Amino acid sequence: MRFLPPVRDLINLEIREKEEAARESAKQQKYMQDAKEYHVKARRTDSFGFTLDHWKGIERLNPIQSYLIDRIYREEPRRNGVLSFAGETGSGKSYAALTLGYLSDDQFDAESVVFSLEEFKTQISEGKKAILLDDLEVFAGSRESMTRKNKSIAKIFQSVRFKRHLLLITTPSLGYLDVILRELLHVEAYTAGLNLKSKMNILRVFFRQQDPRTGRIYRHSPIIWNDEEKIWKKQSVWHIRKPPDALIRAYEKRKEEIFDQWMEEPVNNADKNTANGDNHTPKKYEVVSKLLEKGLSAQEIAEVLGVKTNNIQRLISYIRHKRESGVTR
């Protein structure tokens, strides 16, 4: 017959477990208290020593926005901020980036959203504080051209650090960014859904740190001080409001115009008879429309044109949208 241990032993065991948990908690609190580079807190808009017109009606910025504002407007050290938003199409990453850009720069508008290196350079030269490189991979054809684009962007990022820009990148996956560009990121965000009640985007946000010896990247959750519980807490989930309706309309109009231009581009590596049976060089929308009629899938069309499947899927959706809207070419 097995005998239960004496009550005293059970009490002592419980005490030791609580002591060990308390020591571990104290250790974690000490680590989070000392990790000041990951500390963030919500700040009142009147606490920065300056104000932006885009803050009108806003009393407090969320902790991540407050961190970025402090980073790019602080006189010394002169630093920029590079932040990526990753998530599938329609997940709200562009709107989240628009909000951060809008609340960081009074000059931020639809023109601050760029889709090419030329536009990016123009916005830099015009002195825009916040610039959004939207859908970085969409307008690059092959992986080789994407690599060249990444390297060119990285060079510009490195050359304008002292100007204290906020550079925002949206992409379906960080895998589209080359190593050299990923190494320049300070913060990475992932779309995690939409709060239907508050109509706010939900993001998972992490700071990035690179070990100078090994080059290994470490991701750290932001750390906040909880006034109610009087303890430090890691918090990677943040809610961010949608951008102003006027900015959304201007952005959607501009993106539609850019996509229209992209669809009108000639497809030089396609069979000239693919579209209409004549000798003119067909345009993207013509080729894709004809290949869709022949029953080809998005992946098969992408192989024919030598572009990414993701681009073709977007183009197909756009063509169908135009047809449903009664727009013909």
Question: Cis peptide leading into 244, omega within 30 of 0?
Answer: no
**Chain centroid, CA 261 distance in Å:** 24
| C-alpha 132 chain-centroid distance | 9
pLDDT of residue 141: 43
Full-model pTM: 0.77
Q: Identify residue 148 by its one-letter amino acid code.
A: R
Calpha distance 305→270 (Å, rounded): 6
Amino acid at 47: S
What confidence score (pLDDT) does residue 4 get? 57
Determine contact, residues 208/186, Cβ cutoff 8 Å. yes
Contact 185, 83 (CB under 8 A): yes
Per-residue pLDDT tens for 143-170? 545 667 777 887 888 777 778 899 999 9
Q: Give residue 165's pLDDT.
A: 92
> Is 323 strand, coil or helix?
helix
Q: Which of 95, 98, 94, 105 is nearest to 54 (CA)?
A: 105
In angstroms, the CA 178 to CA 154 distance is 9
Predicted confidence (pLDDT) per residue in 305-324, tens digit: 777 676 777 777 767 766 66
Low-confidence residues of the chain, pLDDT below 50? 1, 139-142, 144, 270-277, 327-329
In angstroms, the CA 193 to CA 195 distance is: 7
Query: 3-state class of 39 per DSSP?
Result: strand
Q: Report residue 46: phi and psi, to 5°.
A: -95, 10
Rounded Cα distance between 270 and 278, Å, is 13
d(CA 309, CA 300): 8
Nearest of 223, 221, 318, 211 to residue 264 by alpha carbon:
318
Question: Nearest 5 degrees, angle CA 136-CA 137-CA 142?
Answer: 145
Whole-number pLDDT of residue 72: 93
Q: Looking at the DSSP assignment, which residues form a beta bridge with residue 224?
A: 233
- Say which residue the tokens 């379906």 belong to: 172
Domains of the chain: 40-243 (3.40.50.300), 265-324 (1.10.10)
CB 135 within 8 A of CB 170: yes
| pLDDT reported for residue 324 | 61
Q: Provide the 10 A C-beta neighbour count for residue 115.
A: 20
- Rounded to the nearest 10°, the torsion over CA 134, 72, 157, 222 is -70
Task: Classify 306 as helix, strand or coil.
Answer: coil
Q: What is the DSSP letter of 4?
A: P
Q: Are 211 and 9 in contact (CB under 8 A)?
A: no
Q: What's the pLDDT at 275?
A: 45
Question: What is the spatial distance between Cα 96 and Cα 195, in angstroms, rounded to a whole number?
Answer: 13
Rounded Cα gap, residues 122 and 125, in angstroms: 5
> How far lies 121's CA from each of 73, 125, 126, 152, 161, in Å?
21, 6, 9, 11, 14
